[in-house]
A and B are shown apart, each in its own frame.
Chain A
Amino acid sequence: MTTQTVTLTGLRAVYGRGARRVTALDGVTTSFASGTFTAVMGPSGSGKSTLLHCAAGLDRPAEGTVTIDGRRLDDLGENELTRLRRDRIGFVFQAFNLVSTLTAAQNVELPLRLAGRRPPARDVTAALDAVGLADRAGHRPSELSGGEQQRVAVARALVTRPAVVFADEPTGALDSAASRQVLRLLRGLVDDHRQTVVMVTHDPTAAAYADRVLLLADGRVVDELTGAITAAVVAARIAERETVPAESVGEASC
């Protein structure tokens, strides 16, 4: 039995007030096992980004609990939460996620420096090497391509050896070749280092790299795929959901 790195229980998230009230998450319970690669999919407004933000401690749910590596996030104050994020969680965003005035190497060592540690140069080089960018250490983001920037971001997410890496549309701003590189990188992390990865995407091709795909609609988990996942299967399942109106598919999200 594998351990669950991240557990979500009865998550509800609500935004706005009165008539503009939007329920972004409506009772989501699921978990992400260690050493697995999960893709979270769903149409716009389905709550997939909110799910990621809550799971990663960037946002606080209205109800429900998030447990990462055995620690409940709702007990933590802002500073403890920041420290937990810094040490146990890695992030990769869609774009604009490098500090433009720092070099690739400086961006990678930023989380450790914020934690008050001075990382050995070879750790940073190793992290960059792992994403194939050892020769770009001294370059600033403006001198790197979009794919390279995203790989630097992955290196930065990994440098603290986090329990889980969350990626929010990591290939959203990349062309298909660069996307493939980044996705292979993430896949490799899971296969070679038993890294836990949770990725939000709307691209079935990207989702095909995952071990498991969660489909969200209207703030609920409405479907789940495991086993042999291909882009065609994912696309078919999504198409299916769009033609068949969501008539309470109430599948328990194991």
Chain B
Amino acid sequence: MLSIRRSAGAFVAVAIGVTLVAAATLLLASGRPRVPDRLAYAAVVVQSPDAGAPADSFAPTRPWSAARTAELTGRLADVPGVTAAVPDRTFYAQALVDGRPPATDARREDAHQGHGWSSSRLGGLRLTAGEPPRQAGEVVVDRALGLRPGGPVTLLTAAGPEPYTVTGLVDAPGVWVADGVAAALAPGVRAIGLLVAPSTDAEEVAETVRGVVGGDGRVLTGDARGAVEPRGDARTRWIGRQVLTAMAALAGFVTVFVVASTFAFTVAQRRRELGLLRAVGATPRQVRRLVHAEALVVGATAGVAGLLAGAAIAPGLGRLLVDVGFEPATFQVRYEPWPLAVSFLAGPAIALLAVWAASRRAARVSPLEALREAAADQRPVGRLRVATGVLLVAAGAALSLGTATSDDARSGATFALYAVMALVAGATVLAPAVVGPVVRLLRSPVRRPGGAIGMLVRAGALTATRRTASIAAPVLLTVAFAVLVSGMVRTTTAAYAAGRADNVNAGWVVVPDRAPGLSDQAVAATGGTALLPTTVFRSDPGTPPENRPLTALGVDPAGFAAANRALTVVAGTLNDLRGDDTVVVPASANRQPTQPYALVFADGESVSLRVVAVVTDDSIRGDLLLPRSVVRAHDPSALTSAVYLRDRIEPPLGARIVDVSVWAAEADRAEDRLVWLFTLLLIGVSAGYGAVAVANTLLMAAAGRVADLRLIRLAGALRRQVIWLVTAESALVVLIGALLGGAVAFVGLLSIRAGLAEQVGVPVDLVVPWSVVGGVVGLCLLLAVLASALSAWRSLSSRTGRRA
């Protein structure tokens, strides 16, 4: 009883949905922390204690001090089965090629990391040429840089550029210096790698090591060693997880609704057949089971097809995610069993959910339907349905506004996701009810007579209201969502850039060039002063958690006070922020001047500082102020992100200079780019489904129009004219839906612009990415035209178009 043709629409929709779910879940399962290459040979890794912060803040662990590292390393080396215990010292360093950092992938954290040579043993690293570094001024670099052993090289560290001699080459990113140099540049250590004798079991060694380390660190083996991956990688992976989860959830959700409307349509078309079954003795329950079983078959086969397609596209999609920055460079696709199982079940689950409403309607078909000629389903739309639909669309609109007004990208993306879900659900529920208004709106643009085709197009669109509505509704909502969300993201980005430029009282900004930050020497060369941020750790007695990470800003008090207009001192004076034991805290820290304040620095040293001033919380964009020299003394790798200048200067090494408007536009570019890509992904999925829904409806409706089209042919129309007629009809409906959707969204955008202008305090331009909107409308138009032309052509060329 299953008709392939009838189920094709549902099959395609389910298959696409499962493809997306399968690809997304496969990639989700693949996104695991990866053991860094440089620690690959260390069977056991001891990591310094976790910072007392939520996992998604990506705070670094609290390092061990130099003394503690030495003690711990010594004791670990004595553990039976351990052949060597090597501290992994990591600091900021990059080699300059032709006076500039090389154009390596800036997102690869290990490309600008330096290490002590002894830790090369942990990664099984071998020299491809030359000698290891033995003393200060010697360095081993990546072979890919094109340098030769014996030659000079300038190494950029947080202090500034320094001359080094290349002694050897390796086949890995980063630079390696003598252990003494590394110890000076990275006094704090976050990981100690243990090499284990070949015959020994790593787990047994780890047990003994746990006894040695106690609470002062975590002992990791096997895949768990991935915990020492770079923080940036962990953060990128987290972003990727959000994106993939959103994609899977949206795809599954939208599929249910698209498939539900397909099934509803099929049941409406089959009323006669279902009535016949009822007449010859099928109970309502049996009819329902029949419809369920069909959905299950469609769901299961489409699910398998989608699963295979998803598994096939996963590697490509994974590479794409790495390229755009949703996954770290170390990401690799792995075929785990659980995503395959989930995707395998997703097809039937989606189909069964989708068929729920349709099966209820099918069960209510009366046996008398078998005796009726036309199966016109013209029941009025229930009030409850209208109310539900209106509520859903309203919720969708409100959530879209939430996207605009949310402060950070994370909650904005969540709002956008829920918004599109609510709009899709609302559209499905409301579709039959919006017939009237849509048709009335259709009346005016097509009033002018334009030959026979024009007359038929007009009459067709106006009389076949149900079809018109079911085509226009998904277009309307897809376009509305695309315009609203893309316009909102673009307008918000532009508004914040304008606001940033307005807040900075400077003409030029020095920013890093192919480097993660500005060195001391670069900052000094600008003649300005700048913030030097570092992460410190504080354990408040009696208040968990321990090792709370805080952002401390190293400042020069006089310059800072002059530049920061928002600064309000509550107690003490900023001028006392000097020497090596002073700190300025915000009011929320609950400390008074002269009280002690203990911190653990990036070098692992615990230092008791003295509070010299208290400022209001909104005075500083961090948690503490420290003298710049103190930060530098304890964190040799701390880097400045930008220096603001009144006049243009020649940029120092590893830096470039841009004017304020360029800087403002660039400042959040990486994050803006990710948000934009995420937006495009959501729009892409929803637009794709909108188009599929339109094409589906057209293809299914075509069956009922065969007789009409034949009649028009008999009345003297050429086949070409009939295809034109059908194509023009659907194109018209798609365009009307697009215009309506665009208009609704534009009103929303105007209100968002007004809100933003208020928030940032400068006039905001409305930015609508027409290319995206055009793409969405074009996709709907293309599929609609193709579907209608194809079905018209097919029904006119087949002679056996007998209605079964």
Contacts and interface: CB of A to CB of B under 8 A. Distances in A.
Contact of A78 (B284, B370, B371, B804): B284
A99 interface: yes
Contacts of A100: 273, 804
Given A79-B284, A142-B804, A91 B368 contact: no
**From DSSP, what is the main secondary structure of chain B's interface residues?**
helix
A83 B285 CA distance: 12
B739 interface: no
B368 A114 contact: no
Nearest to B273: A99
B69 to A, nearest CB: 77
A141 B276 CA distance: 14
Given A99-B1, A101-B3, A142-B802, A82 B282 contact: yes
B281 A82 contact: yes
A59 to B, nearest CB: 6
A136 interface: no
A148 interface: no
A237 interface: no
B804 A114 contact: no
B292 interface: no
Nearest to A168: B371
B115 interface: no
Nearest to B1: A101
B314 to A, nearest CB: 37
Contacts of A101: 1-3, 804
B371 A93 contact: yes
Contacts of A110: 277, 280-281
Nearest to A169: B371
A12 B1 CA distance: 38
B802 A99 contact: no
Contact of A97 (B2, B276, B283): B276
B280 A114 contact: yes
A79 B368 contact: no
Interface string A52-92: 01000011000000000000000000110011011100010
A245 B367 CA distance: 36
Given A79-B285, A142-B802, A91 B1 contact: no
B72 interface: no
Nearest to A97: B276
Interface size bracket, A side: 20 to 34
A115 B286 CA distance: 10
A83 B278 CA distance: 10
A53 B280 CA distance: 13
B272 interface: yes
Given A58-B367, A97-B370, A114-B286, A85 B802 contact: no
Contact of B281 (A78, A94, A102, A114): A114
A142 to B, nearest CB: 7
B1 A85 contact: no
A168 B276 CA distance: 13
B279 interface: yes
Given A59-B368, A97-B276, A99-B276, A79 B1 contact: no
A187 interface: no
Interface string B768-804: 0000000000000000000000000000000000101
Interface string B239-282: 00000000000000000000000000000000011001111111
A147 interface: no
Contacts of A85: 279-281, 367
Nearest to B284: A78
A82 B278 contact: yes
Given A101-B1, A142-B802, A168-B371, A79 B273 contact: no
A200 B802 CA distance: 27
A86 B281 contact: yes
Nearest to A80: B283
Contacts of B272: 96
A212 interface: no
Contacts of A78: 283-284
A152 to B, nearest CB: 12
A156 interface: yes
Contacts of B285: 79
Nearest to A100: B804
Contacts of B370: 93, 96-97
Contacts of A47: none
A79 B283 contact: yes
Contact of B282 (A59, A87, A114): A114
Contacts of B278: 82
Contacts of B280: 85-86, 91, 110-111, 114, 156
Nearest to A116: B286
A111 B371 contact: no
A99 B281 contact: no
B79 to A, nearest CB: 72
Interface in A85-138: 85-87, 91, 93-94, 96-97, 99-102, 110-111, 114-115
Contacts of A99: 1, 273, 276-277
A59 B804 CA distance: 25
A79 B285 CA distance: 9
Contacts of B2: 101
A91 B286 contact: no
Given A96-B272, A99-B1, A142-B802, A115 B281 contact: yes
Considering residues B1, B2, B279, B285, which has the most beta carbons from chain A within 10 angstroms of its beta carbon?
Answer: B279
Nearest to A89: B281
For the complex of A and B, 5 pairs with smallest distance between CB atoms: A86-B281, A100-B804, A111-B281, A82-B283, A114-B281
15 contacts: A78-B283, A78-B284, A82-B278, A82-B284, A83-B283, A85-B281, A85-B367, A94-B371, A96-B370, A97-B276, A101-B1, A101-B2, A110-B281, A114-B280, A114-B281
Given A96-B276, A99-B276, 9 more contacts: A58-B279, A58-B371, A59-B368, A79-B284, A83-B283, A91-B280, A101-B2, A114-B281, A160-B281
Interface of A: 49, 53, 58-59, 78-79, 82-83, 85-87, 91, 93-94, 96-97, 99-102, 110-111, 114-115, 141-142, 156, 160, 168
